[in-house]
Chains A and B, each alone.
Chain A
């Protein structure tokens, strides 16, 4: 699986958009980009995933560059409850697909 690189930490003001970058320059053609977040002492929560096209759901938007070497997760209106560690993972989607977690980005949403 391709390795991903994320900033260690980020701050965001409540109500503003949070843009979390992820670099996956060695991603292969059949690897998806997954985003999860983990709030303290809980299991990871699925946010969104995509292959080539930009994706949007009720939680966030995922912007993937045309060369697929990087992506950005956008939380349009961050709230205090969005404070968490956000993980970007590149993995192959198949019956036995493993998710290998990196260190993630610790996002702090401040009032």
Chain B
């Protein structure tokens, strides 16, 4: 159980386009999801906390108008990279935590989306 699915797994786009990445919790509900970014040979960097039904909370230095987050349901959060440029090329990963009746559960991660902007 506790599967988190990301889509797409890999996307290549032209500079200036917007790209949407989906994060779904397949067998559980997630009030809170998290978005990370990882550059080559570096660790994961937390970008924002996605809250169902409310605005996302962004980490310091992350542009909220550049990285739009929507968490419209208890099983889906989306990250849209607006007007993407080559420097936005990275590995984007989401996570979610099983909550409620399942008790003390850790976060589970998706398999990531590799974004390449040409």
Mark A residues whose CB is within 8 Å of B: 34, 36, 38, 41-46, 49, 87, 93, 95-104
Contacts and interface: CB of A to CB of B under 8 A. Distances in A.
A101 B44 contact: yes
Contacts, number: 52
Main secondary structure, interface of B, reads strand
B31 A102 contact: no
Main secondary structure, interface of A, reads loop
Contacts of B109: 36, 43-46
Interface of B: 4, 6, 31-32, 34, 36, 43-46, 49, 51, 91, 93, 95, 97, 99, 104, 106-112, 114
A103 to B, nearest CB: 5
B32 A95 contact: yes
Given A43-B111, A49-B106, A95-B32, 20 more contacts: A41-B91, A41-B112, A41-B114, A43-B93, A43-B110, A43-B112, A44-B44, A44-B93, A44-B109, A46-B108, A46-B109, A95-B99, A96-B49, A97-B97, A99-B46, A99-B107, A101-B36, A101-B43, A101-B44, A103-B43
A104 B111 contact: no
Given A43-B111, A96-B32, A102 B106 contact: no
